[in-house]
């Protein structure tokens, strides 16, 4: 018993020190309010979504350093005054807050956690990682633990609202992590949309996962309704307008109904990325022991697009699958 007491005392000391260190990292980061004069921003991933989001930060006066594997996708931001980094690590060494929005979980792991070139390897203690990619909840938890071990913080903050929401600064942001850090980041989040704190690390990704499940079934219903309307000989545009103010109205209808009619399949969300999202959803649902047949059907329909070589179209191209199934086409239904 005499030996056990020092051991217990040591464990208590270690636990207290760990909590203290974590608290110190949080307070060091949040001690100075975020402002263009004091906060340097890094951004990894300047594609369809990231490019517009970065532009909001630059126009608000923030100093921004960007990294993107395809240089041409960053050119607009460089023209607006952003600086270019040669690697995520180099970017992070020049930043207080590092955002990332890339394609797949493997990309997230590479740009944030790679021991030699990842952002965390260059981030100074007190720095913050904010991953806005739709990714795996387990990876968000892993990133949080890795950041904490270095005296930094991380937030998983995937978004919904598509390219239109990114352009207009009206995205829904699902944030998982320390509530104090999320409050600290509010001046940045407010430039991009509305932040919703969903819980601890990984909970932002779970919220986005459920968001994608809801969108998937909504899109299937929207496209099936359009096919049915067309086959019945109705004016599809008039029908969309008629249902938009009723119970069948939705954000998906507002964002994608007209695009579908105009055959505008430019990506706000790539089919390839949406297939990835739905795959993550199915994997996590299996772990939770829940059956979501609507999700499974939607994933199969989107996989059909990918199989036809249409993975780089926007996810509203779902109409192509239903057209093939029913041997009809909405190609000429749009009336300017």
Catalytic residue list: 208
| Signed CA dihedral, 294, 295, 297, 298: sign only | positive
Q: Two tokens at 72?
A: 């041409």
Instruction: State how far the Cα of 167 lies from the Cα of 49, in Å rounded to an integer.
Output: 8
Q: Give a three-class secondary structure readout of 65-117.
A: EEECCCHHHHHHHHHCCCEECCCHHHHHHCCCEEEECCCCHHHHHHHHHCCCC
CA 5 vs CA 8, 11, 316: distances in Å: 5, 10, 64
Contacts of 298 by beta carbon, 8 Å cutoff, 6+ apart: 216, 217, 219, 220, 278
Instruction: Identify whether the C-beta of residue 66 lies closer than 8 Å to the C-beta of residue 83.
Output: yes
CA 109 vs CA 67, 76, 101, 114, 330: distances in Å: 15, 26, 12, 7, 41
Instruction: Identify whether the C-beta of residue 34 lies closer than 8 Å to the C-beta of residue 97.
Output: yes
Contacts of 233 by beta carbon, 8 Å cutoff, 6+ apart: none
CA 35 vs CA 75, 127, 170: distances in Å: 25, 15, 20
- CB half-sphere exposure, 61, CA atoms < 13 A: 7
- Based on the number of CB atoms within 10 Å of its own CB, is 78 exposed (0-12), middle (13-18) or buried (19 or more)? middle
């Amino acid at each position: 018993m005499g030996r056990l007491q020092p051991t217990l005392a040591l464990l208590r000391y270690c636990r207290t020190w760990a909590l203290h260190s974590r608290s110190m990292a949080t307070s060091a980061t949040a001690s100075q309010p975020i402002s263009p004069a004091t906060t340097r921003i890094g951004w990894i991933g300047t594609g369809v979504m990231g490019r517009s989001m970065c532009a909001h930060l630059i126009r608000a006066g923030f100093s921004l350093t960007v990294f993107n594997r395809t240089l041409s996708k960053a050119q607009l931001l460089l023209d607006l005054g952003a600086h270019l980094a040669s690697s995520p690590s180099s970017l992070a060494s020049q930043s207080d807050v590092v955002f990332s929005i890339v394609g797949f979980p493997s990309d997230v792991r590479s740009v944030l956690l790679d021991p030699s070139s990842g952002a965390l390897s260059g981030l100074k203690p007190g720095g913050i990682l904010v991953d806005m990619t739709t990714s795996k909840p387990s990876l968000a938890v892993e990133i949080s633990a890795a950041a904490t071990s270095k005296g930094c913080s991380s937030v998983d903050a995937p978004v919904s609202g598509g390219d239109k929401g990114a352009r207009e600064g009206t995205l829904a942001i699902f944030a998982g992590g320390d509530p104090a850090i999320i409050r600290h980041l509010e001046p940045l989040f407010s430039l991009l949309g509305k932040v919703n704190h969903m819980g601890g690390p990984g909970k932002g990704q779970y919220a986005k996962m459920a968001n994608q499940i809801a969108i998937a079934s909504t899109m299937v219903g929207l496209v099936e309704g359009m096919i049915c309307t067309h086959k019945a000989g109705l004016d599809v545009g008039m029908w969309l307008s008629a249902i938009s103010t009723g119970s069948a109205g939705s954000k998906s209808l507002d964002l994608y109904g007209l695009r579908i009619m105009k055959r505008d399949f430019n990506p706000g969300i790539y089919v390839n990325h949406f297939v990835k999202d739905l795959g993550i959803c199915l994997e996590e649902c299996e772990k939770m022991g829940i059956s979501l047949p609507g999700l499974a059907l939607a994933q199969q329909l989107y996989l059909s697009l990918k199989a036809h070589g249409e993975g780089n179209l926007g996810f509203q191209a779902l109409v192509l699958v239903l057209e093939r199934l029913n041997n009809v086409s909405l190609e000429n239904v749009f009336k300017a």
